[in-house]
Chain A
Amino acid sequence: MLAWTIYISFLGAGLLTLLPRNSAALARRLALLTALAGLAVAVAGLIRFDPAAGTRMIADVPWIPALHIRYFLAADGISVTLVLLTGLAAVAGILFSWNIEQRTKEFFAFYLALIGGVYGVFLSFDLFLLFVFYEIAIIPKYFIIAIWGSTRREYGAMKLALYSFVGSAMVLIGMIAAFVVAGHLTGHYTFDLTVLARVPFPASFQRWAFPLVFIGFGILAGLWPFHTWAPTGHVAAPTAASMLLAGVVMKLGTYGCLRVAMTLFPAGVTMWRTEIAVLAVIGIVYGAMVALVQKDFKFVIGYSSVSHMGFVLLGLVTLNQIGLDGAVLQMFSHGILAGLLFGVVGRMVYDRTHTRELADLETMNLGRALPFAAVTFVIAAVASMGLPGFSGFVAELQVLVGAWSAFPKAAIAAGVGIVIGVAYLLRAVQRAFFSDMAARPVEAAAHHPLPPISWPERIGAGLLIAASLVVGLYPQVLLNVISPGVASLLEAMRKGGAL
């Protein structure tokens, strides 16, 4: 049934292109309806998912028989979680882009095509299919940023496209190499991930194939030092695109690292995990420190994404149950919270004030002018800092606990990153919303009152806050499905020679 998330999204995208030219209102409703239907399917999929039953097959038909490529969809707990995240982020993103008036139907058509591709990646168990969906998710991204973006949009869009393309190219080579080597070894050529995961690839091959594929996917996950596309891309993107970029597209990267690189090349993980942990920790600390000195509000959030994605990468290479659980949960949590932060910055603040410079925002007394935005941002910020009760806390705590047993020094450094995280978020909250300087130009704001926060924004923000709260207060709702999935992956990796 989960496969319908893919079909619904592409169907919605197709229908949107057929709409007449001036039908913005209809396009919005149709897009929202499509995303809601996708979310409903994702929620139903989560409820009906039986963690004990292991990986559930969804569809398996031959696609290109000459090359043993199949249309093979399946889902384990990790996929189900990320499909749910995609559904939530998609709905929230549409609610936050309710005010798009320029080429509305094209915008939502690209948007839904992207969403469809993302669903596809999370559900594909054939490597070739996964790659095709992965590319389908990347290309609309370029168009969305280049057409509807703001600051230096062409530069940001092209940088993002080139970075992701380099990553894809690395993944493509690694993927074909795995296909060829597995075929030479076993005499059976296949792209089936479940079969490839059982192939004992020679250590000499894993030594170069693992970093190739891991970094290939890692580029999209904001792995330091290949992260530089992320802040510029986020800043250039329109609000909904930043929300999706940080919320789900970066997760495609970490998901690929886990599902492809680590599952296929377990011995390679063991060889390279220390180096990756170092890069992840640098990402955490560096991202946070750079966020601390940004002048542009959106850059603060952009760099915070690099920092938070570092936790995911660190969790992945701990190679223990709790660390990996935390990594997957952090993917979910960061997807929700980054979406929320970008929503506030891009839609609630920037679309009204037309500036993102913290120095300008300081003078606008936004805490009073836009109380809802201020409250939402504070909630998102404290959740993102790791306040207990929100999803971020559970996730980052688990990653740290996992890292403590694998790389104690890394855990300490990551802890420092969290402290800096508190600092840059508080600085952003204070300067953007509750600045003392507000006294002077209040009059200016009073003459041109900012438009009030609209209902779609309220609903979108409420949805994301609720999701973060539910997972924060009762993490078992997701951990119950994530843990068995992680456990079976870990089991397979151990058999394959990890550790």
Chain B
Amino acid sequence: MNDLLVMGLEAAVLVAGLAVLLLDLWTPPAEKRNLGYAAAIAVGAILLASFAIVLPRPLAAFGGMFVLDEFALFFDRFFLLAALLVLVISVEFADRFETGVAEFYALILFALAGMMFAASANDFTLLFVSLELITVTFYVLTSFQRRQTQSLEAGVKYLILGALSSAFLVYGIALIYGTAGTMSFTRLAEAAPAVLDSRLLQTGLLLVLVGLGFKIAVVPFQIWAPDVYQGAPTPATAFLAVGSKAAGFVLLLRVLFTAVPALGPRWSRLLIVLSAVTILYGVLCAIPQRNLKRLMGYSSIANAGFLLLGVATLSRDGVSAVLYYLGGYLFTVLGAFAVICVALRHTEGEDIPALAGLHQRSPLLAATLAMAMVSLAGVPPLAGFFGKFLLLKSALMVAGDQPALYVLVAVAVVGVVISLYYYFGVIRAMYWPAEPVEQGHLPPIQLSRPLRWSLLLCIAGMLWLGVLPGMVVNLANLAAQTLLP
């Protein structure tokens, strides 16, 4: 019973998901769409409840398989907030689904539960199960517009590559268990140095890393990202970009710092190289993109590289910077996807030139997207700048011991400068298009009240994390401290 209490937040999300499925049976078809608001309210309530949790010390459940510490709590709140915004976006998108609107909401909640389990995973079993819960729900979410070939293509690609990555993952876990005789992160950390030195165990860890690399879209496991981002329904893309990526990072951090802290230094060179290559790949491939969702796909690859930079420092500062960066990324990316969902609904595809004149159709949408782009480009005083600042600072703090980090910092800076070009291109398309649009073609866009509030929340979040970062920095430090005491 006590164990169930420890995972109360996750349980509540699961119950909410099931409740949505049940409510669907009694809801008239015209009202089904509004179930999304019910789900959002439930998620909001759980989010509020999470702030009532006080943790004097970390709690464990199911024999240490599941832990609830500040680190997990930080990510629980992160995922809940992300899901809340994604649900609001989904309601706007719902009329584009033929059937199964309620299932879409329920699947988002199940994916959310998977992410929250991942945040608390302290055992390779739970790591695998939570990751599968996320991935399997996303197979469905990405191909939800089943009459559209693009969406189906996205689903199939994600299915094949996701299955492949799961295979790597499970094979790696088998090797680890075979060598160390345990699945638990805590017990693995206490294993004898001889065990850690064994080549089999290291191969196993490398395969786990490959599996996680797929989730966070790190080069060379990034191939799926642009296609899936472009083809999937916008709310699914948004959740994939924020939730799934963060879940990958949460597990990566747990494995690196809880399970095999002794092996970290040996891997730092590898992480640095991966980070540098990922950043460059993301920013260079984003330059010629004309489809906004695809651009966001490449941008998400580049951002995975920046986040990996923080991981590669192997320091508490670095972890804290990663958490902060993810926080800013949440508001920024969800704000952008909310705009994409509403502003580009009547156009074929999501071509950037179709944004022309958006500021006349809806100043709020244009302002949100413009701020999101400025924040992604890393310009103060918005969240993206401070996140990048913290990442670079954390890298330079330890660069004395690992000179390769200097090179990585230089690469990251080059990446930031290049990214300015395409992010500003989006702003330019909105405010001063190459071909001016006629006034008659600019019907104003009506925004529903929940969406309006969500957009304002994203703007407030970007400003808050950029101008008054103190509070979130403290939260991130606290969370990082539990991981790296």
- Closest A residue to B434 by CB, please name it: A154
- C-beta contact mask, B365-405 vs A, less than 8 Å → 1, else 0? 00000000010000111000100010011001101100000
A180 touches B396 (CB 8 A): yes
* B148 at the binding interface (Cβ < 8 Å): no
Cross-chain contact of B470 among A64, A142, A170 (Cβ < 8 A): A64
CB atoms of A147 and B431 under 8 A apart? yes
Q: Does A135 contact B (CB under 8 A)?
A: yes
CB distance from A103 to the nearest CB of B (A): 9
Interface string of A181-201 (1 = CB under 8 A from B): 000100000000000000000
Cβ-defined partner of A180 (8 Å) among B379, B397, B417, B428? B397
Q: Residues of A contacting B420 with CB < 8 Å?
A: 161-162, 165
Chain A CB count within 10 A is highest, among B379, B381, B421, B473, for B379
Contacts A147-B432, A162-B420, A176-B396 given; indicate if A135 touches B380 (C-beta within 8 A). yes
Q: A154-B428, A162-B420, A173-B409 are in contact. Are A66 and B470 (CB under 8 A)?
A: yes
Min CB gap A326→B, angstroms? 33
Instruction: Given A147-B431, A177-B396, A180-B393, check contact A162 B474 (CB 8 Å).
Output: no
Known: A132-B380, A147-B432. A64 touches B424 (CB 8 A): no
Residues of chain A with a CB closer than 8 A to B413's CB: 169-170, 172-173
Identify whether the interface residues of B are mostly helix, strand, loop, or mixed: helix
Q: Which residues of B contact A139 (CB under 8 A)?
A: 374, 379
Which residues of chain B come closer than 8 Å to A177, judged between CB atoms? 396
Distance in angstroms between the alpha carbons of A165 and B420 in the assembled complex: 8
CA distance A176 to B317 in the complex (A): 14
List the B side residues contacting A161 at CB < 8 Å.
420, 424
Q: Counting CB contacts under 8 A, is A166 at the interface?
A: yes
Q: In the docked arrangement, what's the CA distance between A312 and B479, Å? A: 49
- Complex CA gap A142/B396 in Å reads 30
CB–CB B393/A176 < 8 A? yes
Q: Determine whether the beta carbon of B421 is less than 8 Å from that of A179.
A: no
Q: How far is the CB of A210 from chain B (nearest CB, A)?
A: 17
Measured CA separation A135–B409 after assembly (Å): 20
Residues of chain A from 137 to 180 with CB closer than 8 A to chain B in the complex: 139, 142-143, 146-147, 154, 158, 161-162, 165-166, 169-170, 172-173, 176-177, 179-180
Task: Kindly state the separation between the CA atoms of A161 and B389 in the bound complex, as whole angstroms.
Answer: 19
We find that the number of chain A residues with CB closer than 8 angstroms to chain B is: 29
Q: Is the CB of B477 within 8 A of A169?
A: no
Which residues of B lie under 8 Å from residue A469 when comparing CB positions? none
- In the docked arrangement, what's the CA distance between A65 and B474, Å? 9
Q: How far is the CA of A170 from the CA of B410 in the complex (A)?
A: 9
| B389, B409, B469, most chain A CB atoms within 10 A | B389
B417–A165 touching, CB < 8 Å: yes
Check B7 for interface membership: any CB of A closer than 8 A. no
Residues B400 and A169 in contact, CB atoms below 8 Å apart: no
Report chain A residues within 8 Å CB of B410: 173
Q: Is A136 an interface residue when CB atoms closer than 8 A count as contact?
A: yes
A122 part of interface (Cβ distance < 8 Å) = no
**Pairwise interchain contact A162-B432, C-beta atoms closer than 8 A:** no
B463 within 8 A of A: no
* A and B contact pairs by CB, cutoff 8 A, 28 listed: A63-B470, A64-B470, A66-B470, A66-B473, A66-B477, A67-B473, A132-B380, A132-B385, A136-B380, A142-B424, A146-B432, A147-B431, A147-B432, A154-B428, A158-B424, A161-B420, A161-B424, A165-B420, A166-B417, A169-B413, A172-B389, A173-B396, A173-B410, A176-B392, A176-B396, A177-B396, A179-B393, A180-B399
Residues in chain B within 8 A of chain A (CB atoms): 374, 379-381, 385, 389, 392-393, 396-397, 399-400, 409-410, 413, 416-417, 420-421, 424, 428, 431-432, 469-470, 473-474, 477
